[in-house]
Amino acid sequence: MSNDAVTAGTRFFTDVLGKGDWSAADEIIGDDIVMHHPASPVPINGREAVQGMLSAFRAGFPGDFQMTVEDAFGTGDKAVVRWRMQGTHTSDLFGIPASNKAVDVNGISIVKVAGGKIVEDWVSEDTMGLMQQIGAVPTHG
């Protein structure tokens, strides 16, 4: 890991989101972060709002939530992190009742870092696949 962006991006997924270590968020996430997430029609602004959304997401998978960084690379103030989330949907997920189904979701985030902290995050994840895996959206065939 050769730069601050790669380090911050990797720690964001392994420590903050993966382990739910919100104290590490103070070191990794800028106060004025802007997250562009496919689950939100508007950008999520500020560390508290981002933490709230991520905490609510993690809450849907309380027993076995796992976040794995598959690849991370970057240059300058940006990094690309390819990640994989696995867990069992055993609790409410943004109003969707527990399905007790295992999920395996892939995604890619591009993070921008300033002063060693993530200030912007563009997320691309398989949201439709997640919804199909928990039975909230039917699959074809």
Stated length of the chain? 141
pLDDT in tens, 109-122: 999 999 999 999 99
Q: Specify the CATH number for 4-133; select among 3.40.190.10, 3.40.50.720, 3.40.1190.20, 3.10.450.50.
A: 3.10.450.50
Instruction: Report the pLDDT averaged over residues 75-97.
Output: 97
Is the pLDDT reported for residue 1 higher than 60? Answer: no
Report the run of H or E that residue 81 belongs to, with start and end.
Answer: strand 78-88
Average pLDDT score, the chain: 95
Domain residue extents for the chain = 4-133
Say what the pLDDT of residue 32 is. 97
Instruction: For residue 110, give Cα distances in angstroms to 18, 59, 91, 102.
Output: 17, 24, 29, 26
